């Protein structure tokens, strides 16, 4: 018999390989941590912007006002006016013009503007009474009261800071006044030294990126101008049409509603809805159901005419935004920065979208960007 060697090592048992992580789970994990990092960075940036709103809002206002005053200031400089004198005269003339316009408009609407709030309240009460007593819907007064309370909380929250705390009326007024004053001061220097700012900005950009930076700046400048011209023209057309309609149907407060329609036109789509609802409520309270129906029909027709025919013509590519994008931008900016954010959301979004599109088109085309020029004076 063969002798068995008990010292010979036995073979180790085979180890079964551990199941690998599913590919789908691995990809999901990789994307998850990246999204978490991006989300944290976005939250930090938004928090910082909320802290700097006293600087950001004046800068946006400066861009808008400077775009309006750039042509008059350049006209004076071409006639050999000193840069500082041209900028000072332009800003002071703008303030005088705005003051005169508010004085004239105030004189026209002063007798009726005070009645606008109570009239809207009466109209809302009429609608509430119809919902509870005559409408086919099962709505109780408690439901209406709860809805009005929730709506009031939402409106008050819109005036809050990015952190969600409601800003008191006094603080909001002080911030608004400081923002306007700061914007006017920066506007003066932008008009006076705009060419120097542009030259300094070009030097800060790498040489191989200066062409695309110039295209982006020119597109931003063009977008702001198109937005201001379009909003003013559409607001004038809509305000005149709504005011005349209210007067013809025998409703009161035609002048204040026309002015409100013009102002809200600077918030496209959403502003038109707000002004249209106000006009219908005023017509309901002061002219009756028939007048409200006529005003509602006219408001819808005017909005369709503006949105389908006039707006694409006057805005051009300056405001080539889908209504959903505008609505989301206004909602997000209002939640983050309050009422001022809602007002300035549309021009800022339009500038960002158009600048990105210009940069992409320049990169794909490889040219100077359709011959567009920098806004710096010659």
Instruction: Confirm whether 338 is domain-assigned.
Output: yes
Indicate if the pLDDT at residue 283 is higher than 90: no
In this prediction, what percent of the chain has a pLDDT beyond 90?
8
Task: Give the tens place of pLDDT for each residue, 249-277.
Answer: 888 888 888 888 888 888 877 788 888 88
Residue 362: its H or E element: helix 323-365
Q: How confident is the model at residue 125 (pLDDT cuts 50, 70, 90)?
A: confident
The predicted structure's pLDDT at residue 129: 73
**Are the C-beta atoms of residues 377 and 75 closer than 8 Å to each other?**
no
Instruction: Confirm whether 13 is domain-assigned.
Output: no
In this prediction, what percent of the chain has a pLDDT beyond 70?
75
DSSP 75-130: HHHHTT--HHHHHHHHHHHHHHHHHHHHHHHHHHHHHHHTTHHHHHHHHHHHHHHH
Q: How confident is the model at residue 17 (pLDDT cuts 50, 70, 90)?
A: low
Number of domains making up the chain? 1
**Are the C-beta atoms of residues 51 and 160 closer than 8 Å to each other?**
no
pTM: 0.68
Which range of residues forms the domain containing residue 179?
Answer: 50-196+203-365
Indicate if the pLDDT at residue 92 is higher than 90: yes
Instruction: Confirm whether 57 is domain-assigned.
Output: yes
Instruction: Confirm whether 74 is domain-assigned.
Output: yes
The predicted structure's pLDDT at residue 164: 43
The predicted structure's pLDDT at residue 19: 55
**Are the C-beta atoms of residues 324 and 243 closer than 8 Å to each other?**
no
Instruction: Confirm whether 8 is domain-assigned.
Output: no
Instruction: Confirm whether 78 is domain-assigned.
Output: yes
């Amino acid at each position: 018999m063969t002798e068995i060697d008990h010292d010979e090592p036995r073979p180790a048992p085979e180890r079964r390989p551990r199941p690998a992580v599913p590919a789908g789970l691995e990809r999901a994990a990789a994307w998850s941590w990246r999204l978490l990092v991006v989300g944290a960075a976005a939250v930090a940036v938004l928090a910082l912007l909320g802290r700097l709103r006293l600087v950001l809002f004046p800068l946006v206002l400066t861009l808008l006002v400077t775009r309006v005053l750039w042509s008059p200031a350049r006209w004076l400089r071409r006639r050999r006016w000193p840069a500082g004198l041209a900028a000072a005269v332009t800003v002071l003339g703008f303030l005088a013009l705005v003051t005169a316009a508010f004085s004239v408009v105030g004189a026209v609407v002063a007798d009726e503007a005070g009645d606008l709030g109570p009239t809207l309240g009466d109209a809302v009460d009429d609608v509430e009474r119809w919902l509870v007593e005559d409408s086919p819907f099962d709505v109780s007064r408690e439901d209406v009261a709860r809805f009005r309370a929730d709506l009031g909380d939402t409106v008050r929250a819109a005036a809050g800071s990015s952190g969600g705390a409601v800003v008191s009326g006094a603080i909001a007024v002080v911030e608004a006044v400081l923002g306007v004053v700061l914007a006017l001061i920066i506007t003066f220097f932008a008009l006076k030294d705009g060419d120097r700012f542009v030259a300094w900005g070009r030097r800060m950009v790498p040489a191989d990126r200066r062409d695309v930076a110039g295209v982006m700046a020119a597109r931003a400048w063009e977008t702001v101008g198109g937005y201001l011209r379009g909003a003013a023209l559409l607001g004038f057309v809509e305000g005149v049409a709504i005011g005349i309609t209210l007067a013809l149907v025998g409703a009161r407060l035609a002048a204040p509603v026309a002015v409100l329609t013009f102002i809200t036109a600077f918030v496209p789509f959403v502003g038109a809805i707000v002004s249209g609802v106000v006009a219908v409520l005023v017509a309901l309270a002061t002219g009756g159901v028939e007048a409200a129906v006529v005003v509602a029909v006219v408001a819808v027709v005017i909005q369709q005419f503006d949105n389908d025919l006039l707006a694409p013509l006057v805005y051009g590519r300056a405001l080539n935004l889908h209504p959903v994008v505008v609505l989301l931008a206004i909602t997000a900016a209002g939640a983050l920065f309050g009422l001022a954010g809602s007002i300035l959301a549309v021009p800022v979004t339009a500038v960002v979208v158009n600048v990105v599109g210009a940069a992409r088109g320049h990169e794909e085309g490889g040219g100077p960007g359709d011959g567009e020029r920098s806004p710096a004076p010659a």
